[in-house]
Amino acid sequence: MTEQPGRRVRADARRNTDALLEAAAAVFATSGVDAPVREVATKAGVGVGTVYRHFPKRSDLVAAVFRHSVDSCADAAPVLAAEHGPGEALALWLQRYTSFIATKRGLAAALHSGDPAFDALPAYFDGRFRPALGALLESAVAAGEVRDDVEPGDLLRAVANLCLAGSDVGPDHSRRMVDLLVDGLRYGVSP
């Protein structure tokens, strides 16, 4: 749903859009981004016309689902930082990011399809995740819980690479690999 500058979106309209995006994300995770729009509408409890009114093209819906998922993951960083110690917040967020990567595998092909609707998404991804992770990493370094020679961009790429495992290793493989990566971040830090 595109918002016009200076125009506020009603809270109920925002909730409806969020519910539609959550439903689309769930459908895309199970049926892929080419799933029928009717399936998304049914899952969201709305009519097909409502989906098209908010997202006239499938690529608009896919891009919105991606942004919504990125925002949800990035917005979890300060919440985790407020609820946990710095090292634990970092580890928990990296696992959340791991789940994000795992559920977005189906979107990868669409995002690289050449559709101009997706052109701004890599910068959006980087602009949301790098600062979120950077703040967590900085706090953990300041607390002496992780090493100080790691950049947020390198860590984002490392986790994404660990999530590329084949289908023969099972769904928990990436989580275990990220746990090992976090252990490596703690290596050499004086207690």
Amino acid at site 75: D
* Domain boundary residue, one of 56, 79, 99: 56
pLDDT tens digits for 80-93? 999 999 999 999 99
Tell me which residue of 184, 182, 188 sits closest to 96, measured CA to CA.
Answer: 182
Shared domain check, 117 and 103: yes
Give the number of other Cβ atoms within 10 Å of residue 189's Cβ. Answer: 15
Over the stretch 23-69, which tens digit does the pLDDT of each residue have? 998 998 888 888 899 999 999 988 899 899 999 998 899 999 999 99
pLDDT tens digits, 8-24: 666 767 777 888 999 99
Domain range enclosing 123: 57-186
Identify the CA nearest to 58 among candidates 107, 99, 121, 128.
107
Same-domain pairing of 50 and 66: no
One domain for residues 80 and 140: yes
The total number of structural domains that make up the chain: 2
Q: In a 10 Å sphere around its CB, with 0-12 CB exposed, 13-18 middle and 19+ buried, how is residue 112 labelled?
A: exposed
pLDDT of residue 168: 67
Q: How high does pLDDT run on average in the chain? A: 87
- Structure tokens that stand for 124 in this block: 């959006």
Q: Which tokens hold the place of 22?
A: 């959550």
What is the model's pTM? 0.84
CB under 8 Å to 61, separation ≥6 — which residues? 24, 37, 40, 51, 54, 55
Please give the DSSP secondary-structure letter assigned to residue 168: T
Q: Residue 112 has what pLDDT? A: 76
The domain boundary residue, chosen from 29, 56, 83: 56
Instruction: Give the integer Cα–Cα distance in Å for 112 and 114.
Output: 6
Residues 95 and 180 in one domain: yes
pLDDT in tens, 126-142: 999 999 999 999 999 99
Same-domain pairing of 68 and 139 = yes
At 171-183, the pLDDT tens digits run 688 889 999 999 9
